[in-house]
Amino acid sequence: MTGPEQRVTNSADGSARVGVQAGVVHGDVNNYTVSPDAAPEEKFRTGLRYLEGGMARRARELIYAAFAAGHRTDEVWFHWLLALVSGRTRHELSDEETASLRAEPGGLRRAGDGAWMDGVRTVRRLLNCAEDPRADLRAVFKELDALGETQKALIVRHLGTFLEGPLHDQMWDRGLARARREWRARNRSGRCWKFFEPEPLAPRPYEPPPPRTPSVVLARVTAPAAVTGALALSLGSTLLTSGRLLGFLGYLVGLVGCYRTLREVMARRLRAALRDPVRPAPRRTPAGGFARKVDKRFLHYFAKYTPPGMERGVWMEMTAGVRQKIRDEIVHTYRESRVGVGRIDWLIRYRVSEVRERWRNGPPEPPAPSSAAMLGAVALLTVGAVAILTDAAGDAIAALLTTAVAAAFTVRVGLDIAMEHRRHAIERRESRRMLAADQAAFLRWRQKLADRPQDREMAAWLDCDRKILLNDALRHYKLAMSEIIAYGFIDFPAPATSRARVRGGPWRYRDYEIMLFLLTRDGVRQVTTELDFEVGEFSGGQRANYRFESIAAVRVRQTAGQPWTFELSLVNGQHITIPVDGLGVEELQQGEVPGTVAEATLDAAGVHHTLHMLEGIAASGKRWGDRAR
């Protein structure tokens, strides 16, 4: 190993890394699922999707199965040739696979206008030129450039690793030029993040809890209310039958005043309750449970959406009541559905943003009751009482006082019951309003996610990133592509990153750590860097150099309860151990076969090819490099 440039940490404690987050699986996308008894053409089309997704191993299996079952077209043969060599060097092929490259299959049918057969001929000429140093490269590349855009792009993408010498240089130049054009094409930064968003769950109506009126309270108010009603009727009857018209008119005015006074009192109490909601008691929720995850999302978004100019602590304190109320509603509505909190993340975010918008437009204030209305109600009540006292006899006055005492006791308890029913009516009305607003927000969010990239686009962007990184390494080491004996990548998730996949497909990550290994005449060059996949930007970077004879062993392994690790052992006893959390995680959906997701992820990450290359160096040293050349 070299000295000054060596900046790789020799070991990494797995406990020091934060594992990748729970993944998103787009279960409605079935690009990579095919039944064993599927028709040959269906197997072929699925194999094509594997090839586009950067998983050549599985692509070879399916395309060959389709061909062997009788689906023999020039399109199938073209893709079979590319799948054989994609991401591999010449010595990785078995004798049977090498023979397949040279074989002339019989019974081929033309698919389309003959463009696929033109592609087959060009691939075979390129492979022949790789073995003939006297071949006319200008002629074969002229033939390549004359192909259709589809065939040319596929050849440039999949054939590069397999070629050698000047042929490799020219193919590399074309591949790099294409990578630079497509690196951030198709609005990558504006669409890539959507792949990691789960399919949103539609809003559901929230049914507020019914009025809380215990039977004991009802019993306490029923008898006084009956007595009050009977006394009030008796008082009115007494005034009417005794001919006390002024007193009876006062009685009627007093009833109106009593009703309006009670209504104004209740309005003021409701306003106070809405302005200053009761601070809920802290809730203890199980760690890792649905409610705890909802709590974390609410805290995150309320902190994120703090109004400008307001301190975060003040905002969190002021909104504690409404935050708990909305949180309880969402937990109550969605808890029993066994959905991941990610699927309602849009709803939490929208509800929090609405609270902030309402606050920015002025703190939400319930309509202020009119002071004049309250004074008028009290005035009516007073006038009625005075009229009765002025015109009534002693027995009527006694009845009035008795009725007033009974009414006071009834109102004391009954007002709470009326308030509770009024609360329920207001909450039901607010729930209907929020459901309509939630549905509109849901449709907007669905529309925003409508152009979510397909898995093949994610694979194509990653392939471009690899080429950009490889070109940077070649420039740093001042090497031409023809001076590289072989190269390989291992892509693994960065700590605490988001991940997502389609059904049956490999995990894709929002942030990667990428290791690039270059085999040259002087040994192995290793580059390790971080990739922000959403925008295709690299950051950081570590480099190390090894002599061929320095590598003793290399492997990717997993022990019980521990993350997968990449281990590179050197002959001097040093070990480079890097946890590659997430490569072996599957989180299978219904119908998925155990092992298929992990295998697809390892294949897409380049693990198989790179391990084959490094294991060859560990076993044979420089002789492996000489044999590869």
Question: What does the pLDDT look like over 526-574, one tens digit per residue?
Answer: 999 999 999 999 998 889 888 888 887 777 666 555 556 777 777 777 7
pLDDT at 281 over 60: no
Average pLDDT, stretch 562-589? 71
Do residues 98 and 66 lie in contact, with contact meaning Cβ atoms separated by under 8 Å?
no
Tell me: the pLDDT tens digits for 327-358?
999 998 987 666 788 999 999 999 999 999 88
pLDDT of amino acid 65: 93
At residue 522, the pLDDT reads 86
- Indicate whether 525 pLDDT > 60: yes
DSSP H/E element including 492: strand 486-493
Higher-pLDDT residue of 472, 584: 472
Position 162 scores a pLDDT of 86
Residue 8 has pLDDT above 50, yes or no: no
- pLDDT value at 21 more than 80: no
Provide the β-strand partners of residue 24.
Answer: 500
pLDDT digits (tens, 9 = 90+) for 234-264: 766 776 777 777 777 776 777 777 777 777 7
Residue 277 pLDDT > 60, yes or no?
no
Give the best-scoring range by mean pLDDT among 281-290, 331-340, 458-467.
458-467
Could you give all domains of the chain from N- to C-terminal order, each with its CATH number? Answer: 1-31+454-629 (no CATH), 32-162 (1.25.40), 215-448 (no CATH)
**Least confident range of 3-7, 153-157, 502-506:** 3-7
Residue 518 in this model has a pLDDT that exceeds 70 = yes
Find out whether 172 and 481 touch, Cβ atoms under 8 Å: yes
Cβ atoms within 10 Å of 38's Cβ, excluding its own: 17
The whole-number average pLDDT for the span 401-409 is: 65
Q: Give the pLDDT score at 235.
A: 67
pLDDT given at position 19: 45
Q: pLDDT tens for residues 487-506?
A: 999 998 888 899 999 999 99
**Residue 124 CB coordination number (10 Å):** 14
**Banded pLDDT at 86 (limits 50, 70, 90):** very high
Comparing 520 with 3, the larger pLDDT belongs to: 520
φ/ψ region of 187 (left if φ > 0, alpha if ψ in -120 to 50, else beta) reads: left
> Angle, nearest 10°, between helix axes 137-145 and 165-182?
30
